[in-house]
Structure 1
Amino acid sequence: MDDPKLQRAALKRDPNFKWLLRGGVISMLGDQLTIVALPWLVLKLTGDTLALGFVIALMSIPRAVFILIGGALTDRYSPKRVLMLSKYANAVLLALLTLLVLNHEPALQISDTLSLTVDLSPHATLNIIYVLAFAIGLAQAFGIPSGTSMMPHAIPPAHFQAANGMMMGLRQLTMLVGPLMAAGLLAISGGSGGNGGSGGMIADARGLAFAFGFDCVSFLVSAWTLSRVRTLAMPSKTEAPQSVLGSVHAGLAMVWSDVPLRLCFIYWGTVSLFIGGAMQVAIPVLASELHGASTLGLLMGANGAGMLLGMAGAAVGGKRLRFATFGTTILLIDAIAGLLLIPMAAVHAAWQAALLMLLLGVLSGFMQVNVFTWIQRRVPPHMMGRAMSIFMFIFMGLAPMSAAAAGWILTMIPLSQLFVGGGIILMAFAALAWLLTPIRGITSNTPQPQ
C-alpha cells in the first residue's frame, strides 16, 4: 500500500490508532499549558532568572539520570505498562501543583468551625515547586522512552509513516493552541504583567491552577485511552537475558559502534549542552521584558506553528528540499538557526520576536521529521527504546544543564548578549563540524546495523 491516501484511510479505521490519537491530543495539549504556566509561576513568585533556570534544571536532572534506565525497561517490559504508570504518576504530581497554587492564601477554610493555617511564604512555596519539578522530571524519564516506542507495538509497519506524520503534526498543532490558551488564561486572571519583583504571588491564581489542573486531567484521560489499546504480537527478542544496567550498556554500545549515529549524537549533544538550555531560559525572560504572559504564549505559539509548517514541508518535499547529504543539511540548518538567534537581541516588539520564533520553528520541524526517520531506519526494532532514550537524553537531559548556567549568566550580562553569543556559538559549531568531522558525508539511506 504505497498510496499515501490509501494508507491514511486504512489508518483511520485502525482502532488502536484512534485510541492513541485521542489520548495523545489531550495529553499534549495539557503539557503545553504546563510548559507556559510553570516558568511563569516561578517568575511571578520570585522575579529571579536564577530560580527559573534552577527549576528547569531540577526537572531535567532526574530525567537525564534515569531516562536510559527508562529506555531499558521499555525494551524489557511492555511500553504500554511503563507509559501507563508514568501517566498516573504525572497526574498525581500535577494535582499537587494545582492545590499548591490554589492554597497559597494565608488560610484554608476546612469547614465553618475549623480553619487550617497554611501560611506559605514565597520561599516555602518555591521549595515545594523545586520538589515537584524534580518528581515530574523523574516521571518523564520513564514516560518519554515508553511513549516514543509505543507506536510500533500498536500500529502495523505499513502504517508507520502515515501514523508518525499525523501524530507529529497534531503535536505541533497543540504547540500552537496550548500556549495561546495558557496565555489567555493568565492574561484574563491578571497574570499578564511583569515579574513579581519583590516576590509576591499574583493576586489571582485561578489561571495557573486551571492550566495545571487541565494537565492533570489530561494524564488521567490519556491513561484511560491507552488502556483501550491492544498491543500487537511482537517477534521474540534476539538478545540474551541481562540486567537493566547491562541492557543500558548494550544500547550505548550499539550507538557507539554505529559511526554515523555516534557522530550525530555527539554533535547534537554538544549543541544541546551549550545552546539548547540557554534558549529555554532566554525566551521566557524576553517575553517578560516585552509585555508578559501573553507575549510568552505568542512566542511559543509562533514556534509551534513554524514547526508544523516545517514538518509539512518535510513530509511533502523532504528529499527535494535537502541540501546535498543528510549530514550537510543538518549543519546548514543549524548555521541558519544561529543567524536567526542574533537578531533576537535587538527586538523591541512582540511581533518581531514571534516572526523569528516562527522561522526557527520551521527549521526545527523540518529537521525533526528527517532525523526521526533516519534513526528509525538505522536502529533495530528491539533496540528502539534504548536508542530513543539516548536521543531524548541529548535534548532533554543535557540542555537543562546549560539552563541553570544561563540563569546565572543572566545575573551578570544583559539578555541581548546571551542571544548574540548563542547564535555565534551555534554557527561556529556547525562550521567546525563541517570542516573537521565526516558528518557532512552522512546520507539518509544507510541500512540498519545488525
Structure 2
Amino acid sequence: MNVTSAADAPELPARRSGRNYRLLTAAAIITGLGTHGALIAAAFAVLQSGGDGGDVGLVAAARATPLVLFLLIGGAIADRLPRHRVMVAANALNCVSQAVFAWLVLAGDPELWQMMLLTALCGTGQAFFNPAAEGMLMSSVDREQASRAFALFRMAMQGATIGGAALGGAMIAAMDPGWVLAVDAAAFAVAGVLRAFLDVGHIPAREPGGGLLSDLRDGWREFIGRPWLWSIVAQFSVVVAAVAAAESVYGPLVARDELGGPRPWGFALAAFGAGTLGGALLMTRWKPRRMLLVGTLCVFPLALPSAALAVPLQVVGLCLVMFVSGVCIEVFGVAWMTTLHQEIPEAKLSRVSAYDWFGSVAMMPLATALAGPVEMLVGRSQALWGCAALIVLVTGAVLFVPEVRRLTRAPATTAAAGAVAPREPVSADPEGAVGRLG
C-alpha cells in the first residue's frame, strides 16, 4: 500500500481553498435545482407520450447504463487531466442533451428511442463528471475541517433538492414537462461556467509513464485492498438498485394511480430533500468516532420508502418516511466522504471514487429495466416489499466486516497535519465494543 506522509501531501492555501469550495457549492446548488425536477419530468414525459411503467424503467435504465460503462474510464481521466476541465466538458454534454430532450417534448410526442438516447447521453456526462467532482471537492478541503465542510456542502446541495423537486412537481402539474427539462439544460450551462473558474494549481502534475489501463489497475489495487471499501460498495450496488426501482419506476406509478398525480410525488421527494438537509445540519456538529458503523446503521431506514409505497401510505405518511430516510442517508453520506478523504491518497481519489460509483450503480440499469416486468409478474406491492427486504438483508450482512465496525476517525493531532494519505493499519476501538446510533 502506498502511503503519503503528511509532509509530502499537497496543501491548499486557505484563500484558494475557500474560492474553490464556494464555486463548487454554488454550481452544485444550481444543478441540483434543475436535475431533481428533471428526473420527475423525464418519467412523466414518458407517461405523457403514452408509455407505461416498463417504458419509464427503460428510460431510467438508459440513463444509468453509461454510468456503469464509463465510470472507471472517467475516474482514470479525472486523475490524469485537470479535474475542472473534465467537469466542464461533462456539464456541456448534459446541457445539450437536456436541451434537445426539452425541445422534443415541447414540440410533440417524442419517440421512446429518442428519450432513451438523450438520457443515455446525460448519463454519459455524469459518468465523467462524478469522479472528477468528488476528487475536486475532497482536494479542496483540509482534513481538520473535512467533516464539517462535506456536511455544509451536502446541506447546500440538498437544499437545492428541496426546491428542485417541489418546483419540478409543481411545474409539471401546471405545464408541459419539457419546460422543466429546459430549466435543467440552462442550469448545466450556468454551472459549467462556474466550474471553469476552479483553481487546480495545488494539485501536483501527474508523472509521465503508465497508460489508462495502468491507472485502472492502480485504482483497483487501492480499492480491493480495503475490505471496508469494497464491502460497502457491494452493499450499495444492491441498495441503489432497489431504491432506483422503487423511486424511479414504482414511485411515479403509485403517485399516478393512488395519490392523485405528480404533485404529491414531488412533495415526497422534497420531503426526502428536507431530510437530507436536516441530516447534513446534524453532521456539521456531530462527529461520530466510528464513522462507518454509524453510517451503515443509518442505511436500514432506506427500506422504509419502498415499504410505504407498497402499502401505500397517503401523502403525509409517505412524506414523513421520505424525510426520515433522507436524514439517515445524509448521515451515511457525510461519514462515507469523510472516511474516503481520511483513508485514500489525493492522487488516487478520482480513481477510487470511480470504483465506488461503478459498484454502487452497476445493478441499477438492470433493476430499472426489470422493474416493469417484475411488477407484471408478481404485482407492484410485492415488488416494493422485495426492494425493502433486499436493503435490510445486505445492510445487515455488511456489519459482519470487522473494519466497518472498527474504523475510527483520525485523532485531532493527525487531522491538523493536513495529511490526505491512508492510515495503516485501520484504527479500532481498543475495547472492540460496537457503537450505536444516538
Query: Of 71, 88, 92, which residue of structure 1 is paired with 2:75?
Result: 71
Query: Of 106, 110, 129, which residue of structure 1 is paired with 2:115?
Result: 129
Query: Are positions 1:142 and 2:106 aligned together?
Result: no
Query: 1:430: how far off?
Result: 2.9
The letter for the 1-side match of 2:236 is: W
Whole-angstrom distance in 1 between the partners of 2:56 and 2:216:
32
In the other structure, the counterpart of 2:379 is 414
In the other structure, the counterpart of 1:443 is 407
> Number of residue pairs matched?
400
Query: Of 37, 47, 54, which residue of structure 2 is paired with 1:50?
Result: 54
Pair 1:418–1:383, CA change in 2 (3 A): same
In the other structure, the counterpart of 2:267 is 298
Query: Of 344, 347, 371, which residue of structure 2 is paired with 1:382?
Result: 347
Residues 276 and 329, structure 2, Cα contact 8 Å, conserved in 1 = yes
Query: 1:339: how far off?
Result: 5.4
Whole-angstrom distance in 1 between the partners of 2:27 and 2:238:
34
In the other structure, the counterpart of 2:333 is 368
After TM superposition, the structure 1 stretch with the greater mean CA deviation from structure 2, 94-103 or 423-432, is: 423-432
Query: 1:222: how far off?
Result: 1.4
Task: For 1:20-419, list aligned pairs within 5 A.
Answer: 20-104=24-108, 122=109, 125-152=111-138, 160-189=146-175, 205=176, 208-237=177-206, 241-274=209-242, 276-289=244-257, 290-319=259-288, 325-338=290-303, 341-419=306-384
Residues 90 and 128, structure 2, Cα contact 8 Å, conserved in 1 = yes
Question: SS of 2:298's equivalent?
Answer: helix
Question: SS of 2:31's equivalent?
Answer: helix
In the other structure, the counterpart of 1:18 is 22
Whole-angstrom distance in 2 between the partners of 1:430 and 1:152:
26
Whole-angstrom distance in 2 between the partners of 1:16 and 1:348:
43
Residues 11 and 159, structure 1, Cα contact 8 Å, conserved in 2 = no
Residues 63-121 of structure 1: CA deviation (Å, up to 9, x unaligned)? 111011000000000001111111111111111111101211xxxxxxxxxxxxxxxxx
Query: 1:184: how far off?
Result: 1.1
Residues 272 and 319, structure 2, Cα contact 8 Å, conserved in 1 = yes
Residues 153 and 232, structure 1, Cα contact 8 Å, conserved in 2 = no
Task: Mark the runs of 5 or more structure 1 residues left unpaired by the alignment.
Answer: 1-9, 105-121, 190-204
- Aligned-residue identity in percent: 22
Structure whose CA Rg is larger: 1
Question: SS of 1:416's equivalent?
Answer: helix
After TM superposition, the structure 1 stretch with the greater mean CA deviation from structure 2, 406-415 or 354-363, is: 406-415
Residues 292 and 335, structure 2, Cα contact 8 Å, conserved in 1 = no
Question: SS of 2:49's equivalent?
Answer: helix
Pair 1:449–1:55, CA change in 2 (3 A): farther
Residues 45 and 178, structure 2, Cα contact 8 Å, conserved in 1 = no
Query: 1:294: how far off?
Result: 0.1
Pair 1:15–1:424, CA change in 2 (3 A): closer
The letter for the 1-side match of 2:422 is: Q
Residues 247-281 of structure 1: CA deviation (Å, up to 9, x unaligned)? 11211111111222222222222433455444432
- Compute the TM-score of the two structures, normalised by the length of structure 1: 0.82
Whole-angstrom distance in 1 between the partners of 2:173 and 2:263:
6
Residues 112-134 of structure 1: CA deviation (Å, up to 9, x unaligned)? xxxxxxxxxx5x62221111111
Residues 272 and 394, structure 1, Cα contact 8 Å, conserved in 2 = no
Whole-angstrom distance in 2 between the partners of 1:433 and 1:13:
35
Whole-angstrom distance in 1 between the partners of 2:316 and 2:50:
27
Pair 1:151–1:427, CA change in 2 (3 A): closer
Pair 1:29–1:273, CA change in 2 (3 A): closer
Pair 1:306–1:180, CA change in 2 (3 A): same
Question: SS of 2:209's equivalent?
Answer: coil
Residues 251 and 386, structure 1, Cα contact 8 Å, conserved in 2 = yes
Query: 1:162: how far off?
Result: 4.5
Residues 46 and 56, structure 2, Cα contact 8 Å, conserved in 1 = yes
Whole-angstrom distance in 2 between the partners of 1:291 and 1:152:
42
Residues 173-200 of structure 1: CA deviation (Å, up to 9, x unaligned)? 11111011011111122xxxxxxxxxxx
Residues 368-405 of structure 1: CA deviation (Å, up to 9, x unaligned)? 11111111111110000011111122333432321112
Query: 1:12: how far off?
Result: 11
Pair 1:249–1:274, CA change in 2 (3 A): farther
Residues 154 and 232, structure 1, Cα contact 8 Å, conserved in 2 = no
- For the aligned residue pairs, the C-alpha RMSD in angstroms reads 2.5
Pair 1:143–1:229, CA change in 2 (3 A): same
Query: 1:348: how far off?
Result: 4.3
In the other structure, the counterpart of 2:4 is none
Residues 56 and 403, structure 1, Cα contact 8 Å, conserved in 2 = yes
- Compute the TM-score of the two structures, normalised by the length of structure 2: 0.84
The letter for the 2-side match of 1:235 is: P
After TM superposition, the structure 1 stretch with the greater mean CA deviation from structure 2, 296-305 or 271-280, is: 271-280
Question: SS of 1:46's equivalent?
Answer: coil
Task: Mark the runs of 5 or more structure 2 residues left unpaired by the alignment.
Answer: 1-13, 411-420, 425-438
Residues 335-383 of structure 1: CA deviation (Å, up to 9, x unaligned)? 3433564343223421121111111111111111111111111111000
Residues 130-169 of structure 1: CA deviation (Å, up to 9, x unaligned)? 1111111111111111122222555566654444232211
Question: SS of 1:241's equivalent?
Answer: coil
Whole-angstrom distance in 2 between the partners of 1:364 and 1:88:
29
In the other structure, the counterpart of 1:5 is none
